[in-house]
Structure 1
Amino acid sequence: TDHHAIIPTGIQIKLQYNQQQVYDIIVKRFIAVFYDDCAVANTTVIGKAAKVVFKTTGKEILAKGWRVVFENSNTKDKESGILPTFVKGEKGPHEPSFLEKETKPPNHFTEATLLRAMETAGKQVDDEELRDLMKENGIGRPSTRANIIETLFKRKYIKRNKKQVLPTVTGVQLIDTIQNDLLKSAELTGSWEKQLKDIEKGEFSAGAFIKNMKRMVDALVYEVRSETKRANISQATVLKNRKQINTKKKTAGLTTETCPKCKQAMLLKGKNAYGCSAFKSGCDFVLPFHFSDKKISEKQFIRLLQKGSTVNLKGFKTNEGIVEGLVRFDDNFKLKLEPKTTSAKAKTDSLACPKCRKGTVIKGKSAYGCSNYKSGCDFKVYFDVIRAKMNGNKPTIELVHQIINESA
């Protein structure tokens, strides 16, 4: 060959630990070449315990031969699959052991494992005769398997994800579209191999094989053409469908919703509001763009129609000032504001000044006043006045608001 063996030269020098390990491997391999062969017997042992039959397979070393060179008394590791010497009919005590594990789904294919799976595709065939025939063949030939995989990549049926080979949406759709299971199974290759083997033995004619092949193709073509649902499977089609779905999502809006009042007509968009398309028939449902001096987005209106309310929104102007809350429908499908429940301090802060109606009531050290005091509003209510007007009643937010409003 082009690469000659690496052999020791016999020169003795002091080596570093890692170098010594490599040197020992080379020397042992060189010495082992001159030893006898290792005699091994492939053994199947069938035992019985409490009338239950157990079976194990492995190899039994009859003569160690070159293996003695690699034996190490310090190591405790044992080579797997090595069986001790058994004598037919021998008996003795045994210690049962149980190993609990969980099955795992198979790993995704890599290109290397996919090639190997194509070689051993017969393992997935249930028919034992076909499985034996495919042991030597599999799917494709060594010279064509890589090209088959590359074609699948080019047609966008599979894709690379780092080392993994994964199916694309197009590939999955293709498999779902093919109704004939035989076309998707390795059994088809197995059946062809069986017939070719019979031709080789003289038990089947080549003419009959070709005739059967033509008949099968005709039947498959007829079956595909007879399907009521036609499918156009390609990467371009998949991308086009995705684009159409995205376009539908973008164009889908409030005008695709049904009127919640009459529950028959669709909604229309006007200059200042959305309304029912059946307005000529008497439906007066309206969704104004602005409610309490706040513009409501189309997204929030859709949520109102679908879930019964908007989310909490800020900026609604009321007699009590600018408040936060959510919008619902009343019994007549008119918009109503449901203010957000806040603490006493927050509610006091958001109370509109009862005098100027521009500022909000704020709390000072000894009194409530208007936040617009710098612009001239002199509204003020002292805490002592509020306590006196309570007349011993329990102080509540509503009562405080009432006293402040009456003090203007």
Structure 2
Amino acid sequence: LTYPRTDSRALPEDYLPTVKQTFEMLADSGMKHLAPHALTALNNNYIRPTKRIFDNSKVSDHFAIIPTLQAPSGLSEAEQKLYDLVVRRFMAVFFPSAEFMVTTRITSVVNQHFKSEGKVLVKPGWMAVYGKEAAEDVADAKEGDKGQNLVPVREGETVRTESVETKALKTKPPARYSEATLLGAMEGAGKLVDDDELREAMQEKGLGTPATRAAIIEGLLTEKYMFREGREIIPTAKAFQLMTLLRGLGVEELSKAELTGEWEYKLSQMEHGQLSRAAFMAEIAAMTERMVKKAKEYDRDTIPGNYATLTTPCPNCGGVVKENYRRYACTGADGNSEGCGFSFGKSPAGRTFEPEEAETLLRDKKIGPLEGFRSKAGWPFVAEIVIKFNEEDKNWKLEFDFGDDKKGEETGELVDFTGAESLGACPKCGGAVFEH
């Protein structure tokens, strides 16, 4: 296959001879499921210089993914399936359109009109590459295999209703994204933009590029903004907290596809000499300055959001514990006062509590071991979290509990490094450093 990291769907205008050579290679390849279609295209002169396929203006750094002149050999099952997908699409675009015979019937019942449609494939055209046949060519077809044909009746003929059935159905909410559907949503994000000019600018671009979309998703997973559960990708409390912050700061455009569309539109204007680079960069600088100013001025306690109220009472005074942008805090017995001062952060060591985890921690006074924490040096670690009463502050405080490792360190037991090889000298005191 040709270079895969491209989002172009067109070929260079001087590529017609190479395409014909590729069809000849496929026709002589001996691949029984592909060779006949390549031969059909050659014999019927389907390969023509049409602008829909050969268009230099629609080719970016690399043209569309197509098979090379090298016949495949020794492919694994997965590689063969991928090769077949590319080859079938490559051949199908040169085939003629498929033709259907569509029958539309309007039936009148007591002044109410009902529409019935029949659809039968007459000429498969490009669909032949994917194994479709014309209805009359389907041998030993069962009912429905030849398409949805209507029972013949004469115009104005009276018919008898055999049965009427009413179905009470409910719409289902959209399914959660999988990696495949999320990649598709990123690719087609421009379709959701309302502004015509911005939507046109994002046409066939979307969010990210074919080379970066998967890496963007992996980055969000690594930083715990979402996690995998089976095939589904589910946002975490950290992701919701970020969206709450963006809304509270009034910079929600950072999360919208319209921003990408606006930039693509202005880059297109620059390309055609309608906007200067200096003007575009000045707009970017002004937007950045505005966002940084809002971030500096924000009050973490007044960021609006859909915050939770925990069912477990405050361990210190029995008041109501509510969530705000940064913390879970006591709000007094009435749920609307300053409370007793008890609170704990929502994101200790960079890991954000899910509401259910905060409830468990408050109820059981401990939770874990939990993964996803990071030290100040950036190292990941696992730990339990406990809430303990602090005699000095006369209130309950959140602490990390490292279990047996911590207890072992507190014993002060000396470790014998006799015979062990030193890793080098301590940069502070010059003593030997050993691995333990």
Pick the TM interval, shorter chain.
0.3 to 0.5
Q: Which has the larger radius of gyration?
A: 1
Q: Which has the higher helix share?
A: 1
| Larger RCO, structure (CA 8 Å, separation 6 or more) | 2
The two structures have a TM-score, normalised by structure 1, of 0.43
The two structures have a TM-score, normalised by structure 2, of 0.41
